[in-house]
């Protein structure tokens, strides 16, 4: 695909650029052997300066270099990843990004003093698919604290280590219908779910007290941070001590929640409340960026297996429970509306970050500090709404019949080709009910095949008058499209001697207004005639 025909060599730079277009980055851990081999060849060549990317390799050398990662690279160039046309998909993401950048609504969170200092103009979006295809735009390497985006992650670790029965013996699974930090428990005297402050504090107490209880607070912090790093495929994860201290100093409501739950005997035995509260603040003060958070979201989308390291971090059943509660409780008081409008599991934080999971497809992280009155990122919510307006990512979008939306998981030619085949087959076989279904699903009824033949051509050629009238009267398709040989539907009907269709098409053509006149001035559709005798030759 990439060799120089004259010299029978390959330009490594051109090859890597093409690989990047499929969504793979050269620093992808799965391509480590390939990149190391390139460096070794460059070193042995004795070339002074330059980089391995400037090399030109012959076939044998290239085969040796690529051998270790051949399966992944050939999968990329065969367009066998979850998003086959990744470049085209990225153009849409870029378009949504710039559309949302002009949104200046919302205010930066101020109840934690350190967060109030964030620049409201920061705006970044990162995408990572379950095949490790990456795309980022905007301020994607600027670090921010996880805040509430850590809640689904700590919940997932608790499920993994303790199991669903133990975890939900302490925490409920229902949306609270109340503010995320309200002093309230459910009818069992348990926090409503792990996505609100009370529930997250209790999850941290379970991790601190029941999981490897012999660990000190410092060791438990390292243990949890290591889990987060594995979810992020080893990408950037840090800790912001000033935010931690600031959060702890302004945590009256969280301490009130902690003591209220202790009064109602919510915690496991031997819980040290002060240590658990510190641990909760530490999880919230962990720091990441859009790039690393998108990999975390993609790990959740991929059933707990990190796409770029292929390490199994969490079990699929743990992920299922995490995504279920993200879907119903992840967006504070906006969760119900978000589930209705966007229909995707998501978790927002007061830092302005948003984790969005498209199960079995990709993870997305957006970050923009200005928040709406419910505590969600204004640009982040708008971005998600734009995403499901164009793509059929809403969990309840019909993948078969909703042709008014794009499905990037299918190749664009395959999708359009299947639509054309289905439409033309229905027209040729005279299946009126199928034609009605195609129209109701939003299909373009003027679609033509490689030879320029439309549904009207085939219906006329086969003599299906009901299909012809349906296409012209109900679908308003043009009555004289030409195929590659210059034939119109009328020519087809005359060739195969379908009298009714010929008469109808001629009458229809007469009644169409001249070019430039309003279509509404056209007459009533012609009345079909009975087929009596063959046309004269």
| Catalytic positions, written as ranges | 148, 151, 280, 332, 350
Among the listed residues 315, 383, 311, the one whose alpha carbon sits nearest the alpha carbon of residue 348: 383
Q: How many Å apart are CA 476 and CA 474, to the nearest integer? A: 6
Q: How many Å apart are CA 345 and CA 60, to the nearest integer? A: 48
The three-class DSSP label of residue 315 is coil
Among the listed residues 357, 140, 320, 123, the one whose alpha carbon sits nearest the alpha carbon of residue 235: 140
Helix%, strand%, coil% for the chain, nearest 5: 50, 10, 40
| Residues 378 and 105: beta-carbon distance below 8 Å | yes
Residue-wise burial string across 314-323, b where 16 or more C-beta atoms lie within 10 A, e elsewhere: beeebbebbb
Alpha-helical regions (H) of 30-189: 32-44, 59-66, 70-77, 86-101, 151-162, 164-167
Strands 144-145 and 134-138: unpaired
What are the angstrom distances between the C-alpha of 415 and each of 71, 338, 421?
A: 26, 29, 10
Q: Residue 399 burial (CB < 10 Å; 0-12/13-18/19+)?
A: exposed
Q: Where are the beta strands (DSSP E) in 270-336?
A: 286-288
The CA-CA-CA angle for residues 263, 266, 272, to 5°, reads: 80
For the chain, the farthest-separated pair of C-alpha atoms sits apart, in whole angstroms, at 100
Among the listed residues 122, 290, 265, the one whose alpha carbon sits nearest the alpha carbon of residue 191: 265
């Amino acid at each position: 695909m990439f060799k120089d025909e004259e010299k029978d060599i390959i330009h490594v730079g051109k090859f890597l650029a093409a690989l990047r277009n499929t969504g793979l980055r050269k620093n992808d851990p799965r391509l480590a052997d390939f990149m190391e081999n390139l460096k070794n060849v460059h070193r042995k060549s004795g070339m002074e300066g330059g980089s391995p990317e400037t090399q030109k390799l012959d076939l044998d050398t290239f085969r040796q270099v690529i051998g270790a990662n051949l399966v992944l690279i050939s999968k990329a160039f065969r367009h066998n990843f979850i998003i086959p046309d990744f470049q085209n998909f990225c153009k849409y993401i870029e378009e949504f990004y710039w559309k949302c950048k002009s949104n200046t609504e919302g205010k930066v969170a101020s109840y934690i003093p350190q967060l109030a200092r964030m620049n409201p103009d920061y705006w970044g979006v990162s995408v990572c698919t379950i095949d490790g295809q990456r795309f980022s735009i905007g301020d994607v390497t600027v670090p921010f604290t996880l805040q509430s985006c850590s809640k689904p992650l700590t919940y997932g670790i608790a499920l993994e280590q303790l199991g669903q029965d133990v975890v939900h013996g302490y925490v409920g699974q229902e949306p609270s219908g109340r503010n995320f930090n309200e002093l309230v428990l459910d009818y069992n005297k348990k926090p409503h779910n792990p996505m609100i402050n009370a529930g997250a504090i209790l999850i941290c107490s379970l991790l601190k007290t029941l999981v490897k209880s012999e660990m000190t607070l410092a060791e438990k912090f390292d243990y949890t941070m290591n889990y987060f790093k594995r979810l992020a495929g080893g990408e950037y994860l840090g800790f912001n001590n000033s935010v931690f201290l600031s959060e702890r100093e302004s945590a009256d409501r969280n301490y009130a929640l902690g003591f209220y739950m202790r009064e109602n005997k919510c915690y496991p035995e031997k819980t040290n409340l002060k240590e658990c509260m510190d641990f909760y603040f530490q999880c919230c003060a962990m720091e990441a960026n859009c790039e690393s958070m998108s990999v975390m979201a993609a790990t959740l989308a991929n059933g707990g297996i990190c796409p770029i390291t292929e390490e199994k971090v969490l079990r699929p059943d743990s992920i299922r429970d995490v995504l279920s509660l993200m879907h119903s409780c992840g967006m504070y008081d906006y969760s119900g509306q978000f589930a209705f409008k966007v229909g995707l599991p998501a978790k927002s934080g007061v830092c302005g970050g948003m984790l969005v999971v498209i199960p079995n497809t990709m993870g997305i992280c957006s970050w923009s500090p200005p928040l709406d009155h419910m505590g969600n990122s204004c640009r982040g919510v708008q971005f998600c709404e734009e995403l499901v307006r164009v793509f059929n990512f809403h969990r309840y979008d019909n993948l078969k019949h909703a042709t008014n939306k794009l499905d990037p998981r299918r190749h664009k030619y395959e999708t359009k080709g299947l639509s054309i085949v289905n439409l033309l087959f229905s027209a040729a076989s005279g299946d009126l009910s199928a034609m009605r279904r195609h129209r109701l699903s939003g299909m373009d009824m003027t679609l033509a095949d490689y030879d320029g033949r439309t549904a009207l051509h085939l219906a006329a050629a086969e003599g299906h008058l009901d299909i012809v009238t349906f296409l012209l009267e109900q679908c308003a398709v043009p009555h004289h499209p030409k195929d590659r040989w210059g034939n119109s539907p009328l020519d087809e009907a005359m060739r195969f001697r379908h009298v009714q269709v010929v008469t109808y098409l001629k009458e229809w053509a007469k009644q169409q207004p001249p070019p430039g006149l309003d279509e509404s001035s056209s007459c009533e559709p012609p009345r079909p005639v009975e087929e009596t005798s063959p046309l004269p030759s």
